[in-house]
Chains A and B, each alone.
Chain A
Amino acid sequence: MKDVFDKALLAPLEYLGGQVLAVLPNVLAMGIIVGVGLVAAWTLGHAVERLLRVMRLDELCNRLGVNAALARGGVKTDPSRIVGRTAYWMVVAFAVIAGLGALNLQPINRFAQSFLAYIPHALTGGVILVAGYLLSNFISQGVLIAAVNAGLPPARLIANMARWGVQLFALAMALEELGIAQSVVIVGFGITFGGVVFATCLAFGLGAKDLAKDYLERTLSNRPRDRAPDDLRHL
């Protein structure tokens, strides 16, 4: 009876205890790493936020139209806090992965390696998206002003097309960087961009062929305008 008791109950318990004792240092290490990581994340997040406020990032973003875009997307947090929180969560993610790595379990180690290898791509993709967004704002503003000064009534439409064109381009580049449906993105972007260019050419050719003819004739033959709008001399 005692043998049965030893084999059926104590042996598994002993085995379990041994397992727990073997893993316990790793679990403790994980706890310490995650705990320290959380403190570091909180400190870094706040430090980054305060530094960016001192550097007046919010005012700069306001000028660049980033705040307005965030508000349009329902985000009421200011850019300094967003960057601070991003830094916080990045450190937390690192700490959790490092902590899980301390457990020394194969599946988790493989996941951590893949995750770490993916981070540069994710960062590059993020930078491309942000840069594309800022560039699209700048270009669309310039196009809008140029179109208004050229007296083109659909100025806003032209400016919006320029904005979406640049943003589409940036999105395609970011998705390619992230490795998401690469072939679909390339083909889709090629078809869309080519289609837009073709449609624009077609529209210009059909709708403004006289304007194009006049422009080319004036450019190639150095012929002045047939009739200037007025002969006001501004300087």
Chain B
Amino acid sequence: MGSDAIEATSSSRQQKSPVALTPETESRVQAIGEAEILVGIPSYNNADTIGHVVQAVSAGLAKYFPGRRAVLVNSDGGSSDGTPEAVSRAVVDFSALLVSDHQSALQKIITPYHGIPGKGSAFRTVFEIARRLKAKACAVVDSDLRSITPEWIELLLRPVLDEKYDYVAPYYLRHKYDGTITNSIVYPLTRALYGHRVRQPIGGDFGFSGRLTEHYLDQHVWESDVARFGIDIWMTTEAIASGARVCQSFLGAKIHNPKDPASDLAAMLMQVLGAVFALMEEHDRVWLNRKESMPMKLFGFQYEVGVEPVNVNVERMIAAFQLGLEDLAPIWEQILGREIVAELLPLRTAPHAEFRIADELWVRVVYEAAMAYHARVLPREHLLKALTPLYLGRTATFVLETQGLTTAEAEGRIEQLCRVYESRKSYLVERWHGGPQA
């Protein structure tokens, strides 16, 4: 599969009308004409951190792509804290970075985006500018990053420019308890379904080709939930499903502004799982026939790095699961079936040290939930939110199982879970179109 293989998928009702840009942005784009590289930074009230991100991007472009025409686009959602001003103010002292042959001034476009508020709409504007400038390689990075370095820009763009990849997913070093939705659901499920081992499918920082940008813009999803959230998993899945060449780049640790960890987990889970399950429906013709997974090429020099410690309250998670089992069992029976709920029931009184949701049972839970979502057995928002205690129970299991393990050893446990997802995929495939029940 090469770059030429990016194809219209079953869902791609072509939407050729251009995205509206502000008159100022239109004239900036016309003045610039064409560019080889484009880096997009979506933002909303990130004045504290975006300056550092812009500096890292500028330094990366100057250091690694000195002879190429490059444009930085900040797509802002109406910040009130001076984020656009911070972007325009941010400059780099190239001499301090020992960059001798830096390019002339980096072109910056600072633009508001139109449409539904959200990261997806911000990306759409970035994609549209990339299309008009005929950019060959693009990258997007989060605006709240504290650990971004100039090397990230090379690692996200070089595989596209020199190796002809279409999509570069990030590969971060993370604490074993960092990214638990990714580790227990999104990565193993995406890998089992589509056969590509993309370790961080919802990483947030990506590189992609101009051709893939066109493909993204032509999808009819920009008025849906993708415009608000779920853009990260959508980009990864759409790239894989369209047959694009996908690789990964090692970026080291990802440190970004802390979000309140107790902010609504149910809403977060609903957004992520809703996007994953919706994409399963969209691309079932792609994944129903894929049997095995293959490793993805990983660019970049790999090294060990100290990661931020993560405090975990296992008792709270188990209590949340047990409360769910007490009150939501009838709803879970509708979603998962009586057999699975009966297997969960002994956990109601299990001592904390012995609390476990086994890999095999967890995989069936996820597959049954996906099928229930597909069959609309409940209102979808209720269905997805009702899974929150189950997810917390599984996370508690993972924490208990990996307490004494290093991050690398815990990665081995995730690999084991992935293999169960893959070995049980036939269970999902048989039942997806209303096949035999367990």
A230 touches B268 (CB 8 A): no
A121-165: CB near B (< 8 Å → 1, else 0) gives 000000000000000001001101111110101011000000000
Give the distance to chain A from B431, nearest Cβ to Cβ, in Å. 17
Q: Beyond A225-B260, A231-B310, is A149–B265 a contact (Cβ under 8 Å)?
A: yes
A-B contact pairs, 9 of them (CB 8 A): A138-B379, A144-B327, A148-B323, A149-B389, A151-B323, A229-B316, A232-B178, A235-B202, A235-B272
A208-235: CB near B (< 8 Å → 1, else 0) gives 0000000000000000110011111111
A234 touches B316 (CB 8 A): no
A2 at the binding interface (Cβ < 8 Å): no
Give the distance to chain B from A131, nearest Cβ to Cβ, in Å. 16
B320 at the binding interface (Cβ < 8 Å): yes
**A interface residue numbers (CB < 8 A to B):** 63, 138, 141-142, 144-149, 151, 153, 155-156, 224-225, 228-235
A146 touches B266 (CB 8 A): yes
A148 touches B327 (CB 8 A): yes
Could you tell me the distance between the alpha carbons of A142 and B328 in the complex, rounded to whole angstroms?
Answer: 11
Pick the residue among A138, A145, A230, A235 that contacts B181 (CB under 8 A): A235
Give the distance to chain B from A152, nearest Cβ to Cβ, in Å. 8
Could you tell me the distance between the alpha carbons of A167 and B379 in the complex, rounded to whole angstroms?
Answer: 20
A233 touches B327 (CB 8 A): no
A231 touches B311 (CB 8 A): yes
Set of chain B residues within 8 Å of A146, measured between Cβ atoms: 266, 385
Pick the residue among B178, B262, B378, B389 that contacts A225 (CB under 8 A): B262
B261 at the binding interface (Cβ < 8 Å): yes
Q: Which residue of B lies closest to A138 (CB)?
A: B379
Could you tell me the distance between the alpha carbons of A153 and B323 in the complex, rounded to whole angstroms?
Answer: 7
Give the distance to chain B from A155, nearest Cβ to Cβ, in Å. 5
A235 touches B268 (CB 8 A): yes
Pick the residue among B266, B310, B382 that contacts A233 (CB under 8 A): B310
Pick the residue among A144, A151, A234 that contacts B319 (CB under 8 A): A151
Set of chain A residues within 8 Å of B266, measured between Cβ atoms: 145-146, 149
B260-275: CB near A (< 8 Å → 1, else 0) gives 1110011011001000
Could you tell me the distance between the alpha carbons of A230 and B318 in the complex, rounded to whole angstroms?
Answer: 13
Q: A230-B316, A234-B265 are in contact. List 11 more A-B contacts (CB 8 A).
A: A141-B331, A142-B382, A145-B328, A149-B320, A153-B323, A225-B262, A230-B313, A231-B258, A232-B178, A232-B311, A233-B310
Set of chain A residues within 8 Å of B310, measured between Cβ atoms: 230-233
Could you tell me the distance between the alpha carbons of A142 and B182 in the complex, rounded to whole angstroms?
Answer: 26
A148 touches B272 (CB 8 A): no
B179 touches A233 (CB 8 A): yes
Set of chain A residues within 8 Å of B258, measured between Cβ atoms: 231
Q: Beyond A63-B378, A146-B266, is A151–B261 a contact (Cβ under 8 Å)?
A: no
Set of chain B residues within 8 Å of A231, measured between Cβ atoms: 258, 261, 310-311
Give the distance to chain A from B105, nearest Cβ to Cβ, in Å. 36
Pick the residue among B268, B327, B389 that contacts A156 (CB under 8 A): B327
B177 at the binding interface (Cβ < 8 Å): yes
Could you tell me the distance between the alpha carbons of A231 and B179 in the complex, rounded to whole angstroms?
Answer: 11
Set of chain A residues within 8 Å of B261, measured between Cβ atoms: 228-234
B312 at the binding interface (Cβ < 8 Å): yes
Q: Which residue of A lies closest to B177 (CB)?
A: A232
Set of chain B residues within 8 Å of A232, measured between Cβ atoms: 177-178, 180, 261, 310-312, 395
B306-344: CB near A (< 8 Å → 1, else 0) gives 000011110010011001100110010000000000000
Q: Which residue of A lies closest to B383 (CB)?
A: A145
B311 touches A230 (CB 8 A): yes
Set of chain A residues within 8 Å of B328, measured between Cβ atoms: 144-145, 148
Give the distance to chain B from A223, nearest Cβ to Cβ, in Å. 11
B260 touches A228 (CB 8 A): yes
Could you tell me the distance between the alpha carbons of A228 and B311 in the complex, rounded to whole angstroms?
Answer: 10
B377 at the binding interface (Cβ < 8 Å): yes
Could you tell me the distance between the alpha carbons of A141 and B335 in the complex, rounded to whole angstroms?
Answer: 13
A230 touches B312 (CB 8 A): yes
Could you tell me the distance between the alpha carbons of A230 and B310 in the complex, rounded to whole angstroms?
Answer: 8
Set of chain A residues within 8 Å of B202, measured between Cβ atoms: 235
Most buried by B among A142, A148, A151, A235: A235
Give the distance to chain A from B290, nearest Cβ to Cβ, in Å. 25
Could you tell me the distance between the alpha carbons of A148 and B320 in the complex, rounded to whole angstroms?
Answer: 8
B262 touches A145 (CB 8 A): no
Set of chain A residues within 8 Å of B260, measured between Cβ atoms: 224-225, 228
Could you tell me the distance between the alpha carbons of A151 and B268 in the complex, rounded to whole angstroms?
Answer: 16
Pick the residue among B179, B311, B377 that contacts A234 (CB under 8 A): B179
Set of chain A residues within 8 Å of B180, measured between Cβ atoms: 232-234
Most buried by A among B268, B319, B377, B386: B386
